[in-house]
Structure formats: structure tokens, C-alpha cells
Chain A
Amino acid sequence: AQKITQTQPGMFVQEKEAVTLDCTYDTSDQSYGLFWYKQPSSGEMIFLIYQGSYDEQNATEGRYSLNFQKARKSANLVISASQLGDSAMYFCAMRSPGGSYIPTFGRGTSLIVHP
């Protein structure tokens, strides 16, 4: 069975600073994909970044980067130069053959950006 763990229920960061949101995963599959989504208070889930298990480089998308440490089974999201609009819930998710390619989500981390 695949599992996603997000141990930080809430995080606070000062505007313009960087913040790291933790995600660890568990799977017996060798091939899998890792995703991060943002859910603002409006409720809609917004895709941020993707990392494949065989990708040698850490994924980056603008101010978002994924710190992928395969041996530790961690896929932390790094947000650089935080903005007030980054305040939201952040979910880590994984897809793998063992999970029938149905994404499994963590419980999320609430990020609040202070001015």
C-alpha cells in the first residue's frame, strides 16, 4: 500500500522568505510520481509541481522547487520568496502502479504568510 505523510499541520513564514513543506512517502514500487497541490480558501486544488521517481534533477517551477531525496523517500516542497497569496493548504500526493495509478494524498499543511 502507498502512503503519504505530511507531519506539519501548520507553518508560518515571513513574506519574502523561503519555506520548506515536508512530505515523506512509502511505496514498494520502483516507478512512481510525486505531486504537490495548493488549495486556497476558495477550495479549488491547483497543481504546482511534479517529480518522477527516475528524474535525476529536482523539479522546479518558478518559485516552487521539489527537494527529492529518493533514499529517504522524501519530496519536500520549497517555496522561495514567499508572497501573501501563498497562504493556503498544500497537499503532497503520489501515484504508482501499486496504487492502480490512483493518487494518494497527504493530510496537508496549512501555510500562513505574514507581511
Chain B
Amino acid sequence: GAGVSQSPSNKVTEKGKDVELRCDPISGHTALYWYRQSLGQGLEFLIYFQGNSAPDKSGLPSDRFSAERTGGSVSTLTIQRTQQEDSAVYLCASSSFGGMEETQYFGPGTRLLVL
């Protein structure tokens, strides 16, 4: 398919373990976003990549969270030493170039449960 894909779709981990979440954006999209959605809540911005520019990390909740984007395409969100409050759905989105009128295309999300 040509949409945004994310893996895994579900992840159960134990408190204290590290997890990696992957996002494959739409081919050619230079803008990539990570969001976190807790149960019954809106979308909390985490990090934004735009082309080769330095990412906007202003939404990362702690230094346990990091993300990288290799070759301007695939992105990996890493959560170290997971805590129970990290349990949420992690959504990835991409858009052509991040312009104001552009819509974002979202992936199906990764549901993370930290026991």
C-alpha cells in the first residue's frame, strides 16, 4: 500500500525494558511527526522531522524518549527504561513538506502496554 505504516501494531513490555517503534512514511514525504495518544485523550505531539533539518524535539516528555529518521524516510521512536505511564497509542504521520494547508496522513498506530 502507499499509506503510512507502523510496526509493531501491538507491543507488550515489562517496566524497565527498552522498546523501538517503527514508522514508514509515504514515499516522498519530507515531513514526519510522532504523536502519543493516551486513553480518551487527544494527540500529544512528540517530535517532528522536516527533510534534513534538525528535528523539533520540543514535545518529548523525558530524556528516555528519542527518535531518529534514517535517509529521510523510515523513523524509529525509542523509549528507554519504559514506565507504566508510557502505555499509550503511538501515532506516526507524514505530509509532503509540512506546509500550513497540508493534511497529515496517519499510520494505524502502535499500541504499547507496559506491565
Q: Could you tell me the dominant secondary structure of chain B's interface residues?
A: loop
Stretch touching chain A among B18-26, B69-77, B78-86, B97-105: B97-105
Q: Which of A42, A46, A96, A101 has the most CB of B within 10 A?
A: A101
A50 and B99 alpha carbons, distance in the complex (Å): 13
Query: Is B43's CB under 8 angstroms from A97's CB?
Result: no
Query: Is A45's CB under 8 angstroms from B101's CB?
Result: no
Interface magnitude class on chain A? 20 to 34
CB distance from A50 to the nearest CB of B (A): 6
**Counting CB contacts under 8 A, is A105 at the interface?**
yes
Stretch touching chain B among A13-21, A29-37, A80-88: A29-37
Query: Is A96's CB under 8 angstroms from B106's CB?
Result: no
Residue on A nearest B45 in the bound complex, by CB: A102
**Counting CB contacts under 8 A, is B112 at the interface?**
no
Query: Is A47's CB under 8 angstroms from B98's CB?
Result: no
**Counting CB contacts under 8 A, is B48 at the interface?**
yes
Given A43-B109, A44-B106, A45-B93: A104 in contact with B45 (beta carbons within 8 A): yes
**Which of B93, B101, B108 sits near A42, CB closer than 8 Å?**
B108
- B56 CB contacts on chain A under 8 angstroms: 100, 102
Query: Is B99's CB under 8 angstroms from A101's CB?
Result: yes
- 11 A-B pairs within 8 Å (CB atoms) are namely A33-B101, A43-B108, A44-B106, A45-B106, A46-B106, A97-B100, A101-B98, A103-B104, A105-B35, A106-B42, A107-B42
Interface residues of A (CB under 8 A from B): 31-33, 35, 37, 42-47, 50, 52, 91, 93, 95-97, 100-108
Apart from A44-B109, A52-B100: 7 A-B pairs, beta carbons within 8 A:
A31-B100, A43-B111, A100-B56, A102-B48, A102-B56, A105-B42, A107-B41
